[in-house]
Chains A and B, each alone.
Chain A
Amino acid sequence: MRTLPRPHGPSVRGRLRTDRGLLVLTAAVVALVTALLAAVGPLTVRTADRAVAASVRDAGTRGAVVATVAQPDSRGPRRRDPGSVERLAGDVESARSRMPRVLAAAVRPGVVSLTSKPLQLTDAGPGRYLRLAYVATASGPPSVTWVDGEAPASSAAPGQEAVVVDAAAPPWPVQVGLSTSAASALGVGAGDQLEVEDEARRSVDVRVSGIFSPVDPDDEAWLAQPGLLSATTGTTEGVVRTSATALVGDASLPDLRIGVPSDDLSEQVSFLPVPEDVTWRGAPALRRAVVGLQSGGQGELTGTGFDTLLDRVLDDALTQVATARGQAQLLLVGLTATALLVLVLGAQLLVRRRAGTLALARERGAGLLGLGLELAVESVLVTAVGTALGLGAVLALLGPEGWTVAPSVVLVVVVVAGLAAPVLGAVEAARATGARRVPANRAARRALVQARATRRLLLEGLVVTAAVLSLLALRQRGVGDGDLAVGSVSTWWALVAALLLVRALPLLVRPALRWARRTSGLSRLVVVARVAEAGTRALPLTVLTVAVAQLVLGVSLAATERAGQEAGARVAVGGDARLRASPEPSLVRTAATVAAAPGVRTAVAARVTDARLSSSSQAVDVRLVVVDAAAWARLLDDSDLPAGSGPARLEGPGRVRALVSGGSAAVGEGAQLRWDDAVVPLDVVGTAPQVEGSAEPVVVVDTRALAGAGTTAPPDTVWATGPGAVEAVRAAAEAGDDVTTYAGVLAQRRAAPLPSALVALAAASALVLLALAALGVVLAATVDAPARRVSAGRLRSLGVPDRTLLTMLTGELLVPVLAGVVAGLVAGATCAAAITGHLGLEVVTGETAPPSLVVPWWVPLAALLVALVVPVLAVREAAAVRRASLARLLRGGGPG
């Protein structure tokens, strides 16, 4: 076997010394890119974990896993069970033991509740309902302070704790406590004995032992039964209905079991997930466990069934994370591609600087393999140093936990960085010696040119095909986690733009050259001729175009996302501030007060409520908005809120006119609004805008028009706009009213883990891309610097003034840079316009429709920052030309 040629130590060391700057730069780029790629792994995992946790936290009780425990049969005599409390604790344990281990590990200790159906109070007036509920956490029932009366006691006489109650006996009394809010809503007090009955008109004997207020209203136990602390008032079919829940204590729990028919009782154990314990990586397994638990069908067998929306919460969270990661990938692929191009450009420069030595070594008989190996020694060294620095920095900054480098991507960078110089060097050396083998035969030469053109066409075809396929993939399946075909879409299109530029620039330079020839000036001719000769090289143009296109895309995505958050927040609030109260005609006056407050531009009162919209063919649940159309039109106009077809259409004679969103076409003729017990025929005159981020279709009608049809809807909402709106609304709010502000909602959305991480990534990648683009300009300029210096020196010997030389150098360097920047700007903006609708930005911004693209006006300026490198380079080169002794010109050594 032939032994591999050994690299020549002294020449490797010598080259390392002469090209120190360039090699350090290469190592720096490798370090930067490996650091970035290595950091993205752990950082996105952290962000994803925080995002999933935030979703679970925001879901609140919606994410709870609720076990429903079947109740024993109620017929026949019932025996009072003094061990009821322990039995419930046992039910908690057995419910938990039925959960898969991953789920059990991610939830808090269960909250058990035994609750009756709503029981109607029959003593005075209709519409008053009371539930009886026992709730307990692992540490027992929630603590309360008795403000009147005392805690519910056992209804059993001493020694009678296990009494058996005959089916025919009068109802067994149950002692309960009422919260102050419930007591006042129902109009009952301590010591009252309440006449109540269930739906089947079976009587229940309820005795109010006392009135309490909670020690900690945020106690988990209250969450399981919010009605315990606050009564609710609603209107059903025109009748006001007040509902409250009464608290049963440890002592009266055995009485609840026998005092209320057992088919009126339901027992539930609610397990709230611990947000911090739900991680992004653990979420799929958790979701599977939840789905399995619900579909297990073990309810019939064991008497315990599970129900939860946690799987949907996790689903949504995972979709959001996958979408965000897909968007991030778009930026990272572009960044990596740019870095790789810069590395290749650097290698090209290195090899070009060594072209002479390489050719010489080759002529002296050095093998290509040997030359390649020699070059590989140093590039491997440089790459190793760069990689170690990059990975080391990440390890030092982020620590070892969450250490999941995407090895494949880092590998690509390392391989390209390590191999570019040796491969290009070997090619260069082969070409240097093979140059004489250019066929003398004209036909053979033509064949060679044709082969080269075919290769180029093939490469271009490949890039265009990849670009088209990835765009199709994006349009078909949207962005997704780890979907490289989709993640590379913007990079491919930037490459297509670069190829176009590389083809087009020579075509554009030709007429410029013709023009420059016709004119009498020297600078323009020299600049255009030099650009034609050296400024249309593919690699530097590609680096610039891709970098700038990705920059534009990243910045536009971030800007679009932020604008989307603003628009979404404004729609969610309905103005700058919103007051939500119980329906009350006086809110019209409140709105007038708010409108008159300083700094308020508009304020309007409205009723926002659920209703049904029906037609001959169908009926849908809708969000009904009853509002003063004229005032609302002013508000929408003032706050840039979407206006749909415009509230102006609502005013007019005839039937009540309505704007309807979503499916308004399907409703068509014979639309009827059903709300309360009123049925109002509608004339659909246009499309309703989105109101308060409602997921349901929106129906908007004018207050006066609706009143004219005989239905009044007292307002429950005041929207206001203007700098003083928040203060005015806060001032107008009464206790129990809800104030929501645009600034608050926006800040909350901005701070959400995924959007903020995406914006940070876009900003960071924009900076790195700018640096890479500038580096590309410097490298490309360095490649050509010798040729430029020769021509500048020769012009100087002809008496061209230094100022003119500087102009020429600047022009020559600037033209390709501007071409690349402009191509990148166009490519980036076009690509952004083509893909923003498919990136699922709305999933991350919390809107219902994709936000419309925002390309900030300053993006071209940012991209032009790259061009600032040019004057610096030109001044430096001009200085070098000036320093070069003209005396050497005559000596044949050339300038410099």
Chain B
Amino acid sequence: MSDTFRRPHDPMVVVRGLTRTYGTGPAPVHALRAVDLEVRAGELVAVVGRSGSGKTTLLNLVGGLDRPDAGTVEVDGTEVTALDDDGRSRLRRDTVAFVFQTFGLMPALTAAENVGVPLRLRRTPAAAREERVALLLDLVGLRDHADQRPGELSGGQQQRVAIARALAGSPRLLIADEPTGQLDAETGLAVMALLRAVVESEGVTAIVATHDPVMMSLADRVLTIADGRVGE
């Protein structure tokens, strides 16, 4: 593992020359063109840009869900772009957590069980796990819905469960791609406020791709992405 004695304001994410091109034919799509950026620990960064501008591509590469054509990504001192499948699996388990636009919950498990999945993955003892799950459900305001399945919850509730689950494993980096995309304005607002709050309380770093001006106002920093290039 990498150096564990990192100071709080060291960069959590360092991206250098990141390039991703889809397709090789006569009309390749240059989704990212040599992007450089840094995100400091504890920061909440909003990535904004029109649809098709490359937000998702960037987040995928940072989280190790995809591989770049060129460039490097370093998360918490680990070079993500150099990891093999197992390494990236471990990265997702230990360091990075995702919040998906479509929530990505397990339909067969209850809200509490969904939140407990990352803890079970590390074989956290049952008592400690239950305690943390209860805490997180409290945090996202779903204490009374612990035993409901995703199918029995509203979209906003499901996304809150997803956020609780993302936080359960105490990740260093939270990646959320348009987390409010499928929610109505009011619910979206609540979810965004929740994200802002947990970044403070849990001390995680977050990168959130969004269209939403409210999210931009809540972010520490806003990165604009256009035509595969990033600017402040």
Contacts and interface: CB of A to CB of B under 8 A. Distances in A.
Interface string A858-890: 000000000000000000000000000111011
Contacts of B105: 794
Interface stretch (A82-90, A513-521, A576-584, A689-697): A513-521
A796 B85 CA distance: 11
A44 interface: no
Given A886-B65, A890-B60, A525 B109 contact: yes
Given A520-B125, A887-B60, A799 B102 contact: no
B121 interface: yes
Interface stretch (A354-362, A485-493, A529-537, A720-728): A529-537
B113 to A, nearest CB: 7
Contacts of B56: 890-891
19 contacts: A517-B113, A519-B126, A520-B129, A522-B120, A525-B120, A529-B109, A791-B106, A794-B106, A795-B106, A798-B93, A798-B165, A799-B89, A799-B90, A799-B91, A799-B118, A887-B66, A890-B60, A890-B100, A892-B182
Contacts of A517: 113
Contacts of A800: 89, 93, 121
Q: What are the 3 closest A-B residue pairs judged by CB atoms, nearest first?
A: A799-B93, A799-B92, A522-B120
Interface of B: 56, 59-60, 63, 65-66, 85-86, 89-94, 97-98, 100-102, 104-109, 113, 117-118, 120-121, 123-126, 129, 165, 175, 177-178, 181-182
Question: What class of interface size applies to chain A in its complex with B?
Answer: 20 to 34
Contacts of A521: 120, 123
Contacts, number: 98
Nearest to A534: B108
A787 interface: yes
Contact of B108 (A520, A533, A889): A533
B104 A797 contact: yes
A484 to B, nearest CB: 42
A280 to B, nearest CB: 58
Contact of B107 (A520, A787, A801, A887): A787
B117 A522 contact: yes
Contacts of B113: 517, 525, 529
A526 B129 contact: no
Contacts of B108: 526, 529-530, 532-534, 791
A424 B89 CA distance: 42
A228 to B, nearest CB: 88
Contacts of A519: 126
A529 B102 CA distance: 21
B117 A795 contact: yes
A894 B104 CA distance: 8
Considering residues B60, B63, B120, which has the most beta carbons from chain A within 10 angstroms of its beta carbon?
B120
B160 to A, nearest CB: 17
Contacts of A894: 102
Contacts of B118: 798-799
Contacts of A533: 107-108
A797 B126 contact: no
A534 B117 CA distance: 20
Contacts of A799: 89-94, 118, 121
Given A796-B89, A890-B63, 6 more contacts: A520-B120, A799-B91, A890-B101, A891-B101, A891-B177, A892-B182
Contacts of A790: 107
B161 to A, nearest CB: 13
B59 to A, nearest CB: 6
Nearest to A804: B121
A518 B126 contact: yes
Contacts of B65: 797, 886-887, 889-890
Nearest to A796: B89
A787 to B, nearest CB: 7
A571 B153 CA distance: 73
Considering residues B65, B104, B105, which has the most beta carbons from chain A within 10 angstroms of its beta carbon?
B104
Nearest to B165: A798
B121 A522 contact: yes
Contacts of B98: 797, 889-890
Interface in A791-811: 791, 794-802
Contacts of A796: 89
B62 to A, nearest CB: 10
B230 to A, nearest CB: 17
A873 to B, nearest CB: 19
B92 A797 contact: yes
Interface in A454-489: none
A520 B123 CA distance: 5
B120 A801 contact: no
